[in-house]
Structure 1
């Protein structure tokens, strides 16, 4: 939909619910079963997170193995299953990201989940890369819709630029702690998204060739990082007065994110849409390929980390890109197992957030800023931290649920 930032009515929001009380009751159940476990797993239960994950996986396998049923799905239904699973993956990524951007300010959030300084991997290191990949996977380019009109480029990037400048001004105004080594002095995540959006709009090639182009950019960027000394420059604490030196991490990492986006476009076209631009692939067809690609990228990440250069989100090197691809495809592969469960469908909360992904992220950033203005996050007790985080997640979830019930969708491009 090619419109400027707007709020639109969506008639298929909250289908089957005419009573707000019933809808909110179901939403509350989803919140308790989906969001609260995420909050607890990344805080007070973080030491047992692998045990909990293993138990849940075992329970799912047991349920699937013991449930006697014949799962016969037509191609169209299985295609809808694939659509739902991809949407669930994007919602899961968004929920974890929105929770982490606030939780990291509390002592209850384990430091091992926080972003690494230079090299290494963590939960929050996945955030920006996962956001870029999730967008590329279902992007207009992945669907084969090629647009090079200047008007369309401006419409898709101007909101991101406004958000970038808005974040810059707001963080400076409330003296919010910003780690300069992440993006630079003035740069932020929204500027990176805008830059990638502009470049991919200008490139405008067939999705079947995006993978090769993305790989070429990543290899060339890695060569310059290692042989050209760019990595030493990016990791240095010295900064000049010019705008590039002030924001060197954010500006040069664009090449890595651009390569990641282009590879994601190719994978989205291959795994989901096909040449026609509509979801024609079946969940069964895509699942085996997603599993294979996940394993492939995990092996490639280990080889790159050992023999080329360690994974670095700060530089967005090729090892980081393959790490993001491996992890995200692994999550998608796990969610694709949902087609084994009879009667599976997306929850109300998933539907609400899926229809307003960027709106969810924007609200999360606003709420995070408000919490930091009124709460000294580093000095509150464990119990207070939990209540604040659950309250934040509750407000975020029910606001997006209310928007979905009213048929409101926030459109930015």
Structure 2
């Protein structure tokens, strides 16, 4: 066996076969975002404009890295959060300078609330960190994607992207023509399809390690996103108009998800987890459409779940984000999602499966993101009320990442591949891993800043 092949197999084994962590530990990790945000806004009046970026890195960005490493165990995570929370709440309240809040006349808080932008950029950064950190021993294996069922920290990344896309879409102004919707979706789908093809070719050509049980042999998340965008276009074009009071998206998504779960519970789950990669009798025969389906069943069937996530998140966005009772609706929706998730997983004993994107997984992804969004909304609302109803400035790093999300995601994937091709990540020390992760994150954020200034 060649050294290159052995290295490839070792890296593939390093990111495969994991059973995940716990629901509450993953939720605890992500609370560094609202707690760090509270600390940031409390400290903001004590720094000048040139120091804001260093403050943001110290209390928002750095904790996102630390909680994804073995430098902190479960008790360490609790200690980090408690210490940040203590500092945030014992600091005296002080109004910020006028240049540290948005001008209400030029900022429509209802159209694109700051807490949604902060959550979106935080998801991008957390995912950006994880996709490289997972290749180093410093990244706890319990946070890797689960092989079959369970709660994996990296399981949430793809679903969170889809959920945020649904929330953002729910804020789009009404009355857009179907032609405009089609053009916009095609513009979004074309680069996704291109990125999917590039990802497929580079993985095969460079023999980059692949977690086949993630999406299949040829499928990847870019293809899932493209399929989802095309489905949304068709659905919006042909769905019946039953009036604004009928949550048709939610009804269709719920019915589809229940039907899909019934299929999984009646044998579909076993097929996805244990089925053959080809359906032809002889593996040396030419590939058929059936073979393609068998080889990529995780990605193809999982797209059903992601479409449902998208429709449900849009419905939730319309109910929560555009309502005058925004905070109450967020809290009620979050609690309801957690209750339904526990009903399926505890009472009905249906396991949470990222690999099949089943109903408990969808409920968990929605409930988790809703919890963090609600906490961020609480922090930004408190800040707004304390500063004469002026909404807060989005931290500059988060704002740049939010405005250039797709570019950040693309750059992070390219840099991750380059690091893996040039560095022996499997045997890197913790200090070396942290150094590489810091330079990598600085490069990603720097490119986001550059693009942001270029666009402006």
User: TM-score if structure 2 supplies the norm length?
Assistant: 0.76
The match for 2:13 is: none
Within the alignment, does 1:33 sit opposite 2:38 as a pair?
no
Please say if residues 338 and 367 of structure 2, whose CA atoms lie closer than 8 Å, have aligned partners that are also in contact. yes
Within the alignment, does 1:395 sit opposite 2:449 as a pair?
no
The match for 1:13 is: none
Q: Distance in 2 between matches of 1:92 and 1:40?
A: 14
Please say if residues 170 and 317 of structure 2, whose CA atoms lie closer than 8 Å, have aligned partners that are also in contact. no
Between the two structures, name the one with larger relative contact order (CA 8 Å, sep ≥ 6): 1
User: TM-score if structure 1 supplies the norm length?
Assistant: 0.83
The match for 1:367 is: 415
What SS does the aligned partner of 1:304 have? helix
What SS does the aligned partner of 1:406 have? helix
The match for 1:329 is: 370
Q: Distance in 2 between matches of 1:28 and 1:398?
A: 14
The match for 2:199 is: 167
After the TM superposition, which residues 173-192 of structure 1 pair with which residues of structure 2 at under 5 Å, given as runs?
173-192=205-224
The match for 2:261 is: 222
Following superposition, the deviation at residue 46 of structure 1 comes to: 2.9
Q: What are the superposed Cα offsets for residues 131-185 of structure 1, whole Å, 9 maximum, x if unpaired?
A: 1101111116864446357655432311111000000011122211111111000
Within the alignment, does 1:211 sit opposite 2:250 as a pair?
yes
Greater Cα radius of gyration, structure 1 or 2:
2
Q: What are the superposed Cα offsets for residues 301-359 of structure 1, whole Å, 9 maximum, x if unpaired?
A: 11111215110010000000000010000000110122213454211111111111111
CA 215–57 in structure 1, closer or farther in 2 if over 3 Å, else same = farther
The match for 1:147 is: 178
Paired residues in the alignment total 372
CA 304–177 in structure 1, closer or farther in 2 if over 3 Å, else same = same
Please say if residues 214 and 259 of structure 1, whose CA atoms lie closer than 8 Å, have aligned partners that are also in contact. yes
After the TM superposition, which residues 162-311 of structure 1 pair with which residues of structure 2 at under 5 Å, given as runs?
162-204=194-236, 205=239, 208-227=247-266, 229-240=267-278, 241=287, 242-273=291-322, 281-282=323-324, 285-306=325-346, 307-311=348-352
CA 116–259 in structure 1, closer or farther in 2 if over 3 Å, else same = same
Cα-Cα RMSD: 2.6
Q: Distance in 2 between matches of 1:134 and 1:97?
A: 13
Please say if residues 27 and 398 of structure 1, whose CA atoms lie closer than 8 Å, have aligned partners that are also in contact. no
Following superposition, the deviation at residue 60 of structure 1 comes to: 3.7
Following superposition, the deviation at residue 365 of structure 1 comes to: 0.6
What SS does the aligned partner of 1:79 have? coil
What SS does the aligned partner of 2:208 have? coil
Q: What are the superposed Cα offsets for residues 29-65 of structure 1, whole Å, 9 maximum, x if unpaired?
A: 43333222211221144311133223333444455xx
Following superposition, the deviation at residue 224 of structure 1 comes to: 1.1
Please say if residues 98 and 361 of structure 1, whose CA atoms lie closer than 8 Å, have aligned partners that are also in contact. yes
The match for 2:382 is: 340
What SS does the aligned partner of 1:118 have? coil
Q: Distance in 2 between matches of 1:40 and 1:153?
A: 37
Please say if residues 123 and 161 of structure 2, whose CA atoms lie closer than 8 Å, have aligned partners that are also in contact. yes
Q: Distance in 2 between matches of 1:91 and 1:50?
A: 24
Q: Distance in 2 between matches of 1:59 and 1:349?
A: 22
The match for 2:188 is: 156
Determine which of 84, 87, 96 is the counterpart of 1:56.
84
Following superposition, the deviation at residue 79 of structure 1 comes to: 3.2
The match for 1:18 is: none
